[in-house]
Structure 1
Amino acid sequence: MAGGDGLAVFGCAGCGAVLTAAVSEVALPVHLRDTHWERLHPPLLEAGTYAVDPEPYGPPWRTWEEFGAQEAAARGIFAPSGNLSDGPSDTILLAPGDMRGTRLILERAAGYCMGIDGRDGPNLACLSCDLPVGTRMDDCGCWQVVRLLPQAIVRLPGPPERPVMDWPELLATGALGQRLSEYQDIPAGVALAHVVAAARGCPVEVVSGSVADLFGPALIALLPGREGVKRLDLAGPGLGEPATELVLVPVHPQTGEMWQPHGGGVAVPVEATLWAELAFPSHRTRLPAVGGLPTGVERDDPLPPHPWLPFRPSGDAFRYTLARMPAVLEPWLRGIYDGCSSLPGTAPMV
């Protein structure tokens, strides 16, 4: 499927009918591969955007043993990682609301309990010619998304592309909002895997603050020891660069490129919304105020809800990410991977 300038409009490869609204390409969300079980999820992508998933997805599924280590490694998976898809690669992901001119194939609309989970393969057909073109998923425990089959679609001319925002604009416009705040354990698990790999087996000392609160317990459990300690802190637009060996930097949500430090610290990628939440936490006061409540001040009635569990990185996302790093073939990191099925300092694996 050839690319082109401007926004993308995807059409049916069988008859040329328009299948989507005009959408702009963004980076593949890192929270794609993990979910919260038995909970209804929001759309994976913002309206008006799409992303390309390079990994195979959908039936048929095969076990790790059926693939074998060599074939799995050729697909970028370097450690046992459950059942693996033998479906198509490079599917186009969109928000369901950006679809046009399709119908649901009812005999392929099975799910777990509250919607469709795509277990039977492509379940959307072109209204004009009935060609199966993609799979919609919206069941509990699934991000709401449509996956278009690359062989069943063509790219049609669209309007001019939206400009890529620079980092100051992203911060100033609030584009790094808190839309996924209750699911931030997933990008946190991905970031934790990158920190551990970047540490190269050395213990990590986290600079006090929000980063230490989030990653400190897991890093102490994963990388014990006293020798060769590497320090970890945030770096990025609006923060500058600390004098630490490891720096957590944001990944641009449109381009997927990391913010690049100029110092000597090793850059560790973090999903931009999580990075912004760690770098610029909202500060609220409960002190008495005279003359009314100014913006940002909370009332003390009722008390804000208290989480029943502390916020911790997702263990599933941590392990999934490690399995796709060539470094996991090294004995020290493979030992961490094999021993982290129940990891202190992370959210429970399911």
Structure 2
Amino acid sequence: MAVFACVRCDAVLTRPVERVALPVRARQKYGHDLLPALMESGTYAVDPEPSGPPWRPWSEIGAEEAAARGVFAPEFSLSFGAPGAVVVAPGDTCGTVLIPERCDGYCIGLDGRAGPNLACAHCGSEVATRVDDCSYWQVVWFVPDAVRRVPDDGPDDGPEHAGADWEVLAEEHQGAPPIEPWGSWNARWEAAVGAALAQLLAVSAGARVALPDGVLEDTFGRALDALFPPAPVRRRAVLAGPGLPPAAADIAVVPRHPRTGEVWQPPGTMAAVPLEADVWLSMAFPRVELPVPVAGGMPDGVFRDDPLPPYPFRLFTPDRGVFLSTLARLPAVREPWLREIYDRFQGAPYACPF
């Protein structure tokens, strides 16, 4: 556990927080809904990539310089700010005040377009950017050079200090429900599958991938059909991970640990495709509504019909932005067949690729 303090005056700016892996949905934009907080209360994550101004267009950077930074396909622009921005839930901050002239937003909240909009209440230094507009996960991003980490009595419980305990994954972490109460797909699912889809393409090496009937087919199947031309199946993917029986396949869709970011390694020579743990848990161990009340009983042969199980009002679509961002950061995207897919969808920003 740790707190973060202002580098200028040492004022404490957060409550005690524990380090976890940065969610793949951190930069996701989703519809025009008010999304909840990105981070669980009491946690923080670090973005290893540069963030914030200055920004440089791709035409000024070039493929070689971008590849040295881990970006292997063209993006509109790249940040040349400092890496290591710290993200926390808005409710875990303290000792900050809004900067009124920086409180711009697209719709009904703050989107951080004007730069840091939170200042240290003690010394007035610009320390963070709060984002809570519609379409964005609610976050506070601390400027890397404006804060410092202050450990408490124990070591940081972050990825660099402890390994993933896969045996208790299902006990300590909950799955994300696939469908929202109002009938839309959960934004977490769309982001997680978008990132995993990019990884799945990379390990497929251009071969047609078969999926088992069920949740994998429902979430990945239509996208693979749109990305690959009709061809004989040459590889097979399955859901694998702690608590699931072993299955023979070429590719395993496995959990990415929410605390450490480690990827569960399948046995043998199966290639691993990481999927966010909260979505993987819901796929591997779906919650089943009881057909009878918990208490009391119902007549023989009569099953419960209220509440009805949730159904989405549209087919599942992986998040396009997360898919492209993940794909651009995989070295495999330099392969001609995969680069063609990237360029095709990057060049049609308003098309529905899946």
User: Fold conserved (TM > 0.5)?
Assistant: yes
| Cα distance, 1:293 vs structure 2 | 6.2
Mapping for residues 138-157 of structure 1, pairs under 5 Å: 138-157=132-151
Structure 1 counterpart of 2:190: 185
Residue aligned with 1:30, SS: coil
| Cα distance, 1:57 vs structure 2 | 1.8
Residue aligned with 1:176, SS: coil
Residues in 1 aligned to 2:221 and 2:88: alpha-carbon distance in whole angstroms: 35
1:242 equivalent in alignment to 2:247? yes
- What letter corresponds to residue 249 of structure 1 in structure 2? V
Q: 1:214 to 1:138 in 2, by over 3 A?
A: same
TM-score (norm 2): 0.87
Q: 1:293 to 1:248 in 2, by over 3 A?
A: farther
| Cα distance, 1:285 vs structure 2 | 5.8
Q: 1:115 to 1:179 in 2, by over 3 A?
A: farther
String of CA shifts for 1:150-188, please: whole Å, max 9, x gaps. 211122231435687622322124x13327861111111
Residue aligned with 1:81, SS: coil
Mapping for residues 82-93 of structure 1, pairs under 5 Å: 82-93=76-87
- What letter corresponds to residue 135 of structure 2 in structure 1? G
1:259 equivalent in alignment to 2:253? no
Q: 1:75 to 1:225 in 2, by over 3 A?
A: same
1:53 equivalent in alignment to 2:26? no
- What letter corresponds to residue 285 of structure 2 in structure 1? F
* Identity level (%): 50
Mapping for residues 117-132 of structure 1, pairs under 5 Å: 117-132=111-126
String of CA shifts for 1:272-298, please: whole Å, max 9, x gaps. 11111111122336589995369xx98
Structure 2 counterpart of 1:69: 63
Q: 1:316 to 1:293 in 2, by over 3 A?
A: farther
1:169 equivalent in alignment to 2:168? yes
Structure 2 counterpart of 1:32: 26
String of CA shifts for 1:316-349, please: whole Å, max 9, x gaps. 2211111111111110110111223599xxx947
1:316 equivalent in alignment to 2:321? yes
Indicate conservation of the 8 Å contact 2:102/2:114, yes or no: yes
Q: 1:302 to 1:237 in 2, by over 3 A?
A: closer
Structure 2 counterpart of 1:3: none
| Cα distance, 1:225 vs structure 2 | 4.6
Structure 1 counterpart of 2:335: 330
1:12 equivalent in alignment to 2:6? yes
Residues in 2 aligned to 1:212 and 1:72: alpha-carbon distance in whole angstroms: 35
- What letter corresponds to residue 212 of structure 1 in structure 2? E
Q: Once superposed, which parts of structure 1, at least 4 consecutive aligned residues long, lie more than 6 Å away?
A: 287-290
Residues in 1 aligned to 2:11 and 2:290: alpha-carbon distance in whole angstroms: 55
| Cα distance, 1:8 vs structure 2 | 1.4
Q: 1:298 to 1:249 in 2, by over 3 A?
A: farther
- What letter corresponds to residue 325 of structure 2 in structure 1? Y
| Cα distance, 1:90 vs structure 2 | 0.8
Q: 1:137 to 1:180 in 2, by over 3 A?
A: farther
Structure 1 counterpart of 2:226: 221
- Length, aligned pairs only: 338
| Among candidates 85, 90, 101, match of residue 95 of structure 2 | 101
Indicate conservation of the 8 Å contact 2:38/2:139, yes or no: yes
Residue aligned with 1:114, SS: coil
Q: 1:218 to 1:179 in 2, by over 3 A?
A: closer
Structure 2 counterpart of 1:110: 104
Residues in 2 aligned to 1:179 and 1:132: alpha-carbon distance in whole angstroms: 38
- What letter corresponds to residue 80 of structure 1 in structure 2? P
String of CA shifts for 1:17-38, please: whole Å, max 9, x gaps. 1111111100010111222132
Structure 2 unaligned spans of 5+: 180-185
Indicate conservation of the 8 Å contact 1:9/1:156, yes or no: yes
Residues in 2 aligned to 1:114 and 1:101: alpha-carbon distance in whole angstroms: 24
Residues in 1 aligned to 2:117 and 2:250: alpha-carbon distance in whole angstroms: 49
Identify which range, 160-169 or 206-215, moves more after superposition. 160-169
Q: 1:124 to 1:179 in 2, by over 3 A?
A: farther
Structure 1 unaligned spans of 5+: 1-6
Q: 1:164 to 1:198 in 2, by over 3 A?
A: closer
RMSD: 2.8
Residue aligned with 1:44, SS: coil
- What letter corresponds to residue 19 of structure 1 in structure 2? L
TM-score (norm 1): 0.88
Identify which range, 191-200 or 133-142, moves more after superposition. 133-142
| Cα distance, 1:140 vs structure 2 | 0.9
Residues in 2 aligned to 1:49 and 1:241: alpha-carbon distance in whole angstroms: 33
Residues in 2 aligned to 1:199 and 1:46: alpha-carbon distance in whole angstroms: 34
| Cα distance, 1:240 vs structure 2 | 3.5
Q: 1:180 to 1:289 in 2, by over 3 A?
A: closer
Identify which range, 225-234 or 116-125, moves more after superposition. 225-234
